[in-house]
Amino acid sequence: MKALHIGISGWRYVPWRGDFYPEGLRQKDELRYASRAFDSIELNGSFYALQTPERYRRWAADTPAGFVFSVKAPRYITHIKRLRDAEEGVANFFASGPLELGEKLGPILWQLPPSLKYDADTLEAFLALLPRSAGAALTLAKSAASRTPERWPSAVGRRPLRHAMEVRHASFACAAFAQQLRRHGVALVFADAPRKWPYGEDLTAMDFVYLRLHGDQQLYASGYGDTALERWSQRIGRWQRGLQPADAKLFDTSTRGDRRHREVFCYFDNDIKVRAPYDASRLMALLGLELPDRQEPGQPAGDWT
């Protein structure tokens, strides 16, 4: 069975302090705390601004062995450039340091804006541009005109680089889009957002699945009850095995499961009312996901302090 990662989207939230994070925990220790409660976190500061190689190196050092970051790509590329003429932006993104995460670098998340309609030609050019290995990303980064780190990461080798795309305009809910992602091996993000954005469960990447759970009833705010979490655990189990639930919602109904085992990345983004870390913890328990020396959410920091 492929690996399973259940985590949270971001970790720096003021309402979490004194709740998920115990009273007295230093802010600089919050990542260390969260990364011992979960084995993966979706890094979203990179969406709002380019980070630095030094910052990525620090995040890697603050997290335990086996931890994985998914990295949200810059909104400059998705929301401002709207995927057009994206080569310089993509080069600058990789030059900003995500490769410094090394083996802790998971999928790159490309979140499209609600106003961006599906355009097959624009998307084709963008998908063809994306590097599929850390080595190819490094080559692209070295072409960046505006960012030159003091040193480049070493030993990136041919390690595969994976991409996932979250869409928010109804025009993407079509077979052509799912087929396009499948040709390029990019995962369609299963984005649970109550009555907000198009939702599909097409298995478009060969070796992984990517979920974002934004709230069961109210976007970013409501938690997931026992029934909802049990439903997600059952679906995740099937997706791990390359199968589809009987009631799967598909953009492309010509293709269902293919029995290829897949790694699953699932992130809770219902952070406003401090639901995300507790929902993630409960889903981990349902799926039997155990971590060595796990930090229990809301409890005093463990021996790593």
Burial of 175 (0-12, 13-18, 19+ CB in 10 A): middle
**Burial profile 184-198: b = 16 or more Cβ within 10 angstroms, e = fewer:** bbbbbbbbbbeeebb
Confidence of residue 253 (pLDDT cuts 50, 70, 90): very high
Residue 303 is predicted with a pLDDT of 73
Instruction: Report pLDDT digits (tens) over 71-121.
Output: 999 999 999 999 999 999 999 999 999 999 999 999 999 999 999 999 999
Structure confidence by residue, pLDDT tens digits, 5-44: 999 999 999 999 999 999 999 999 999 999 999 999 999 9
- Residue-range domains of the chain with CATH: 4-286 (3.20.20.410)
